[in-house]
Structure 1
Amino acid sequence: MPEPREFPRWSGSDRRLAPIGVAAILLASTSFFWHARDWNSASRLMLTYAIVDHGTIRLDPYRVQTNDIAAFGGHFYTDKQPGYSIAAAVPYAIAKAALGLPDHPEGPPALTHWPGDYWATLGTAGLATAIGAAVLVVLAGRAGCGPRASSLVGLAYGLATPAYAYASMSYGHQLASACLLGSLALVDRPGTRRPGLALAASGFLAAFASVVELSVGPISALLGCFAIGKVATRSLPPKAICGFVLGASVPTLVLLGYNAMAFGNPLDIGYAHHATQQFAEVHSADNPLGLRAPDWSKAVPLLWGRHRGLFFYAPILLLAPVGWAALLVRGKVGLGLVAILASLAVFLVNVSYPEWTGGWSTGPRLLVPLIPFGMLGVAGALAVGGRGAAIVAGILAIAGGALILLFQGVGAQIPQDVPDPLVQVAWPLWSGGRIPRWWLGDRFTRTIPSVLAPGWVGGLPTGRQWLQFAPLLVGQAVAIGLLMVLLGRGGRARIET
């Protein structure tokens, strides 16, 4: 079936308002939460503090803060890729200067909350989620969605999938996802006047995603192949590839330099030097990524079920397979293939990893980089499904948003050995039930009301403490409703494709 040449018209104001409005709503929503620090996030944050506070990459003074750490040559380093920590140094340095934040304390005791954590996380994972959603809005428009449907794609990504939870924590998933989406949008950019510059930025983002999370390396390579395909089909001039390579070389050299400084070898990584035995049993010098042969028995639990099922925690992604097919049939072959292959790459890595549950987390944590590519499929479904598809997507988004809020509210870090996190943890805490004996924190995570008005929140009866989330829900409803009213008033127009 040939691709339709008539799409909902995007006015000039819609082109600006839709991505900016979605990004603003998501950033404001993320700022509502201040989750406790865990080993995983602390490992990244400690490198940020070491860089800004002391100008070093060594974490010796912060050893007690995390067991997610590497040891080499008598010193301690993060076991993670350094990309997130480097990026987080910018918002942390700004917040530190503007608010007069003190240096992070050295030595014990281990901390669960520190003011710098909030600003570094919001300015990195939170901002990356908002920007990634804005890019999704643009890509959904290119796929044939109108302004409102495109905004639904971006809002559902940021509020109705586990991406919402990881926007509030210092994991690398959201920053890597935003980089990959930005790279894709720059390669698949029709009519660009400066393809060399656009491809240089695309290459930088694709490579930096792997500096944040090495597991997305196959997607970075896929984006490079996509750029080559654009040249082969004469959609881009051959010199554009030089731009992509030059852009990709910058973060690659940064990573190689960091590895050489930390471990004495540019090709060595922190995962090969774990200081904690339970992690060293998975990651080693011989197999630093810890990958094994695929265990296909994990495929169903990763896709379905209340433990770690992707479609349970992000029900809107049920539309993705149909939408991927729609993209291919309607001629958006490159966009559709990248979305499909990127999703398969993330899934294959997850079923090949022994710690497939993702530890203390919300949903299938290691599948989170798959979600934006699944949302491209949702955009494809909305582009052909009309009002009916939009209604179904809206219902699934509301269901997913309500579920993720339950987990956001209790801190988003649910132990992997709890078989039914919703029934056994989230709902009892929201409904005023008994707090599990192993639970480390309060009933609810820290929020803007609990920090700014602790007396009001603390004075609420146990079964009514959920009222602290009412301002968030009211604000989201008003903002989303206003955005949808302002968008899409331009009717339809014929667009050359």
Structure 2
Amino acid sequence: MAQVRRYGMTLLVSALICVYTLTNAGRFHIVDEVSLFAVTESVGLRGDVDTNAIAWTQWVNSPGEVLGAFGPDGQVYSKKGPAPAFLALPWYLLWLAIARLGIGVGLLQATLLWNGIVTAFTAALLWGTAVRLGYNDRVGLVLGLLFGLGTIAWPYANHFFGEPLSALSLLACFYGLLAWSQDGRRRWMWLAGSAAGVALATVTAHGVLIAILAGYGLWCVRRRWQEGVPLRRWLALGLAFGAPLALAGLVLLAYNFLRFGNPLDTGYHFDQGEGFTTPILQGAWGLLLSPYRGVFWHTPLLVAGLVAWPAFWRRHRAEATLIAVLSLALVGLYSTWWMWWGGFAWGPRFLVPLTPFWCLPLVIPLARLDVNLRRWQARRRRMSVRALRPLVAALGGQGLALAAVAGLSMVVQLLAVSLNYVNYEIQLRSIFPTDWSDPLRFGPPAQGMGDFLYSPVFGQLRLWGQGFVANTDLAWLRADGTVLWLVVWVGTAALVTLAVGMGLWWRGMDASGGPELPSRPARILVLLVPLVLMGTWLGEAGQDPHYGQPDRGYRAALASICAQEKSGDALITVAPFAYQVPMNWLGGLCREALPIFGYAANSMEHPEAQQVLGDVLETSRRIWFITGGLPANAPENTVERWLSQHAYKAIDLWYDDYRLLSYATPPLLAQAPVHRLDVTLTGPEAAPVQLLTVRAPSRAVANDVIPVELTYQLLQPVDRPLRWFVQLLGPDGVPVALLDTAPDDGYASFSGLPPGEALTERAGLQLPTSLPPGSYTLIAGLYDPEMPAAAQRLRTPTGGDFVVLGNVVVQ
């Protein structure tokens, strides 16, 4: 029987994974997801825990959008619990290995499928919990389906939040304690303790719930051990539960110390408005009953669970009491949280961890319904009754009501996953105006019960009326009307296959001779079906223009970087509205794990950014820099201006609206001596410019960037638009690397420079990857682009049109 149950659970898990994959948007909805993914990416690619890739999010208007905190080193770290990011690592690394085989798999999109797996296993564990409580497998299957398809667990299965993992870990802790109370095996205590540790490392505040579960565990021990028990057995049990929990606590302390230098610092900004400051009744109203976030609006099925709770309490008093106490604790906790509504979210996301517990009382009406259906089936076999009326009678009023509420709840979840609820959240800010200028007053729309028609539940219908395709949240249906038919057909075939398998399993549970286990190929097929669908989905969803086109724009710039990357490179970006592109593709394109620092144009106004980029400048050999939607030398681009003053630009290329630059860094000049030049350049209409000194390395290797630092002075004011050229000449006098630039890398002009002062110009030369070894000549000079071609270059006293700076030996 256990094998048949496992097969049924496999069917359930596979079916739910297929549903979640088909309804996945393939993109982030909320910045919280981005912060968690940035941790997974950092650990998976570089073994770091920073979230510097989205450093720009630290300087936004609302504190609710600040998902990180600065460490002592100025780097950004997520304030979210690490468990969701860490436990998603094997899944991320699996797809990273596949992507590096040259298969076009988007790592961000692949990781977004992870919580679908977590939620599907939560449904299976809920089934197992029902069986532990004494209910049959048919009840367990239906309970798992109701949880997986009829609650807010479905929408959150498609987000990269920590709440799905919280739900699984808390339920696993309860299951372990319940199982131990029945058979006394110590492994169940280890499971409970390990799950509690995961819950703690997901959300530290869940320590309150863990304490309640531990109290339930003590009650289980007392119930099982009525008589005196040796101390060693108590110690063994305490070790089994407490050791993994203590280990999780130590991991959290170490994680905090690694990020912030203080084991007790979690990164939350309690001095900036965060904290438990909301009046509890206001928050409780919002979480439970308000049209805006009320749990019963977003999961009508839980009304049935609430109605069933008294009967559940009469049969399972300890477990029902546990659910009630957990509910009071979590609702009470988040009712006082300053952002109790959870930002842009679907329903009360902070209550997602309680969803499986709130579904558990449904075993009572489901068991009664199962008995009635079995009687009806037996009567039908005897009397060949096929009319609908006997079936309706068998269901009874309670069964019909449960079916109606379950159907309504599934429709609500289907609306949530089909249409992008964030679009309506934005509209609500106009319907119920929010003071965006004051971060601490930023809050949810003030909805009373009279505003129920403005509930996000009805808002999904409004979005549908405004245009289903335009507001779609399905990866296989794009806003431009494109349908990914391959995903649709493979998904349909997968669901039909699993539905047939589930139907056969259900019928087998009624067989007089007992259920039979299908053949091994059939069981393997059940495992393969969701994998095939996920692979198909990833292959097709990766073509979403949201993530760029392979040979255009941002992706082309990334491909260019990865074709030239080497150890010691770093990547800085000023493209905050396209952060998803490198997150999706960079890991698969590059063999070297480039540290990435994502800033906004004005980020260098902040000392933390200056500190971090100062460190990058000293620890990297080459810096890649990508901007998006900005012209060259944009005055507001403080990052580019800073690089022009501290690094040595070598490459400046455009890829549609994106610009790729590369810079050499000062450490490459650490051993280079300063050589005097004292050469004056003059032109027909240009005042003389004197080159004073040069500093450049005398040795290099192919694919290196050679930094060149020139000092010069204007002997008189210059009113011509002069430009520098720096070149590396081969033995035949043909340039193998060159750079053309204005003063200060374009942030200044000669007409604005003061005469008589020593000035510095920084330049870099990118050597080709296939450059042959040998001796090359480094030259520099000035030219006037407005003069005729023959007279553009300024001349030396000997008549030359460039100055030899020295030789570079390429090894």
TM-score (norm 2): 0.50
Give the Å deviation of 1:334.
2.7
What per-residue deviation string (whole Å, max 9, x for no partner) do you get for residues 44-86 of structure 1? 0001111111211122243136742211211210021111111
Give the Å deviation of 1:375.
0.7
Higher relative contact order (CA 8 A, sep 6+): 1
Question: Are 1:313 and 2:310 counterparts?
Answer: no
Hey, what's the Cα distance between the residues in 1 that align with 2:125 and 2:285?
Answer: 30
Hey, what's the Cα distance between the residues in 2 that align with 1:78 and 1:26?
Answer: 30
In 1, are the aligned partners of 2:157 and 2:164 still within 8 Å (CA)? yes
- Which residue is equivalent to 1:334? 318
Question: Are 1:421 and 2:456 counterparts?
Answer: yes
Question: Are 1:392 and 2:382 counterparts?
Answer: no
| Equivalent position amino acid for 1:394 in 2 | A
Question: Are 1:356 and 2:340 counterparts?
Answer: yes
* Structure 2 counterpart SS, 1:188: helix
Structure 1 residues 359 and 492, CA gap change in structure 2 (3 angstroms): farther
Question: Which of 62, 75, 79 is the equivalent residue of 2:54?
Answer: 62
Structure 1 residues 312 and 492, CA gap change in structure 2 (3 angstroms): farther
- Which residue is equivalent to 1:92? 92
Structure 1 residues 470 and 396, CA gap change in structure 2 (3 angstroms): farther
Hey, what's the Cα distance between the residues in 2 that align with 1:91 and 1:342?
Answer: 31
Spell out the pairing of 1:30-41 with structure 2 (5 A cutoff).
Answer: 30-32=20-22, 33-37=24-28, 38-41=30-33
- Which residue is equivalent to 1:270? 267
Give the Å deviation of 1:485.
4.6
In 1, are the aligned partners of 2:278 and 2:338 still within 8 Å (CA)? no
Give the Å deviation of 1:143.
3.0
Give the Å deviation of 1:204.
1.2
Hey, what's the Cα distance between the residues in 1 that align with 2:82 and 2:7?
Answer: 34
Hey, what's the Cα distance between the residues in 1 that align with 2:101 and 2:263?
Answer: 34
Q: Which runs of 5+ in 1 are unaligned?
A: 1-10, 103-113, 274-279, 284-289, 436-440
CA RMSD of aligned residues (A): 3.2
Question: Are 1:489 and 2:481 counterparts?
Answer: no
Hey, what's the Cα distance between the residues in 1 that align with 2:492 and 2:464?
Answer: 15
Question: Are 1:366 and 2:363 counterparts?
Answer: no
Hey, what's the Cα distance between the residues in 1 that align with 2:178 and 2:87?
Answer: 25
Give the Å deviation of 1:36.
2.6
Spell out the pairing of 1:207-246 with structure 2 (5 A cutoff).
Answer: 207-234=197-224, 238=234, 239-246=236-243
Hey, what's the Cα distance between the residues in 2 that align with 1:250 and 1:450?
Answer: 45
Question: Which of 135, 139, 153 is the equivalent residue of 1:163?
Answer: 153
Give the Å deviation of 1:360.
1.0
Give the Å deviation of 1:397.
1.9
In 1, are the aligned partners of 2:37 and 2:85 still within 8 Å (CA)? yes
| Equivalent position amino acid for 2:407 in 1 | I
| Equivalent position amino acid for 1:64 in 2 | W
Hey, what's the Cα distance between the residues in 1 that align with 2:497 and 2:314?
Answer: 37
Hey, what's the Cα distance between the residues in 1 that align with 2:421 and 2:160?
Answer: 12
| Equivalent position amino acid for 1:209 in 2 | A
In 2, are the aligned partners of 1:228 and 1:241 still within 8 Å (CA)? no
| Equivalent position amino acid for 1:483 in 2 | M
- Which residue is equivalent to 1:52? 44
Q: Which runs of 5+ in 2 are unaligned?
A: 59-65, 373-395, 429-453, 515-811
In 1, are the aligned partners of 2:8 and 2:505 still within 8 Å (CA)? no
In 2, are the aligned partners of 1:148 and 1:484 still within 8 Å (CA)? no
Percent of aligned pairs sharing the same letter: 23
Structure 1 residues 367 and 191, CA gap change in structure 2 (3 angstroms): closer
Question: Are 1:402 and 2:411 counterparts?
Answer: yes
Hey, what's the Cα distance between the residues in 1 that align with 2:323 and 2:503?
Answer: 27
What per-residue deviation string (whole Å, max 9, x for no partner) do you get for residues 340-376 of structure 1? 2112222112211121222111112222112111011
- Which residue is equivalent to 1:377? 361
Hey, what's the Cα distance between the residues in 2 that align with 1:403 and 1:471?
Answer: 25
What per-residue deviation string (whole Å, max 9, x for no partner) do you get for residues 293-328 of structure 1? 642134344323542221121111112234332233
In 1, are the aligned partners of 2:57 and 2:67 still within 8 Å (CA)? no
Hey, what's the Cα distance between the residues in 2 that align with 1:491 and 1:64?
Answer: 65
Structure 1 residues 133 and 421, CA gap change in structure 2 (3 angstroms): same
Q: Which has the higher helix share?
A: 1
Question: Are 1:80 and 2:104 counterparts?
Answer: no
Question: Are 1:261 and 2:258 counterparts?
Answer: yes
In 1, are the aligned partners of 2:170 and 2:199 still within 8 Å (CA)? yes
Number of matched residues? 442
What per-residue deviation string (whole Å, max 9, x for no partner) do you get for residues 90-136 of structure 1? 2111110123289xxxxxxxxxxx9222222322x221101111010
- Which residue is equivalent to 1:458? 482
Structure 1 residues 99 and 412, CA gap change in structure 2 (3 angstroms): farther
Structure 1 residues 241 and 434, CA gap change in structure 2 (3 angstroms): same
In 2, are the aligned partners of 1:82 and 1:212 still within 8 Å (CA)? yes
Question: Which of 430, 446, 450 is the equivalent residue of 2:464?
Answer: 430
Hey, what's the Cα distance between the residues in 2 that align with 1:491 and 1:302?
Answer: 48
- Which residue is equivalent to 2:787? none
Give the Å deviation of 1:244.
0.3
Q: Which has the higher strand share?
A: 2
What per-residue deviation string (whole Å, max 9, x for no partner) do you get for residues 131-182 of structure 1? 1110101112233433222211111111111111111111110011101111
Hey, what's the Cα distance between the residues in 2 that align with 1:174 and 1:218?
Answer: 18
Hey, what's the Cα distance between the residues in 1 that align with 2:410 and 2:262?
Answer: 45
Hey, what's the Cα distance between the residues in 2 that align with 1:144 and 1:193?
Answer: 14
Hey, what's the Cα distance between the residues in 2 that align with 1:415 and 1:101?
Answer: 40
